[in-house]
Amino acid sequence: MTGVVLAGGEGTRLRPVTEVTNKHLLPVYDRPMIYYPLKTLKEMGCESVVLVTGGEHLGGFAELLKNGNDIGMDIIYRVQENAEGIAQALSRAEGLVKGLFPVILGDNYFSQPPPMPDEPTLFTKEVADPERFGVYQNGQIVEKPTIPASNQAVTGLYVYDERVFSLFDKIKPSDRGEYEITDINNYYLKLGAKVVEMAGDWFDMGTFDSLLRATNYIHDNR
Ligand code: DAU
């Protein structure tokens, strides 16, 4: 199975640290951030992965991971020319993945990867600060609601099938100028995607505080 890891974006919440490098190459305790989502995909059964990132830091990923031999996965690189959203990054994997496949955001850490489901699935987790995330509430997902109606955050792990590539034409950039994965996920809910609450612990690592929490957690639980 081939999965997808999305590692583009500008890492604006981690400036100035991300001024000259990509967020996913930063250390999280003793390894670069990107190792953690790759490990999650491997544990879900991926022997290969499409890594999507912006052209400016592709060399850093290639230098670090090469063809993926050291981590036991084949890596196929694809470029997202401008950081115009997670959904746009995913569109760059078209033609390289088949059947049912997992997609993970490069800044997401899961302590316990779920078993690979047998149908399209979105994974949620109860959090104390849902306003920072896409929130699953009243049967649909709202991206970063000011007043969340539930504490179920939509994590950055999704299982799609090839139908996902026909949905990109249906969505428009949001107010923050990005093609939102939440819009794709709301289509998937209409197509009957399952919503499953994650076991174990989950962190995004995209802010200084969440990066520090993840680093301490990994240090303490290694
Ligand atoms: O972490 C889970 C959250 O991730 C979800 O709850 C939200 O629904 C989802 O929109 C996303 O929210 P963020 O605002 O945290 O996403 P962020 O812009 O930090 O992007 C997350 C990852 O997606 C990033 O580490 C790399 C990838 N990405 C992002 C953008 C904007 C790309 O590959 N290309 C992009 O253009």
* Ligand 1 close to Cβ of residue 211 (< 6 A): no
CA-106 nearest atom, ligand 1: 25
**3-class secondary structure per residue, the chain:** CEEEEECCCCCHHHCCCCCCCCHHHCEECCEECCHHHHHHHHHCCCCEEEEEECHHHHHHHHHHHCCCHHHCCEEEEEECCCCCCHHHHHHCCCCCCCCCEEEEECCEEECCCCCCCCCCEEEEEECCCHHHCEEEECCEEEECCCCCCCCEEEEEEEEECHHHHHCHHHCCCCCCCCCCHHHHHHHHHHCCCEEEECCCCEEECCCHHHHHHHHHHHHHHC
Taking CA atoms only, the protein residue closest to ligand 1 atom 21 is 105
* Ligand 1 close to Cβ of residue 148 (< 6 A): no
- Percent of the chain scoring above 70 in pLDDT: 100
Query: What is the per-residue pLDDT across 136-165, written as a single tens digit (0 to 9) for each?
Result: 999 999 999 999 999 999 999 999 999 999
Taking CA atoms only, the protein residue closest to ligand 1 atom 33 is 8
Query: What is the per-residue pLDDT across 43-98, written as a single tens digit (0 to 9) for each?
Result: 999 999 999 999 899 999 999 999 999 999 999 999 999 999 999 999 999 999 99
CA-156 nearest atom, ligand 1: 2
Q: How far is the CA of 182 from the centre of ligand 1 (A)?
A: 10
Q: How far is the CA of 138 from the centre of ligand 1 (A)?
A: 22
pLDDT tier at 17, thresholds 50, 70, 90: very high
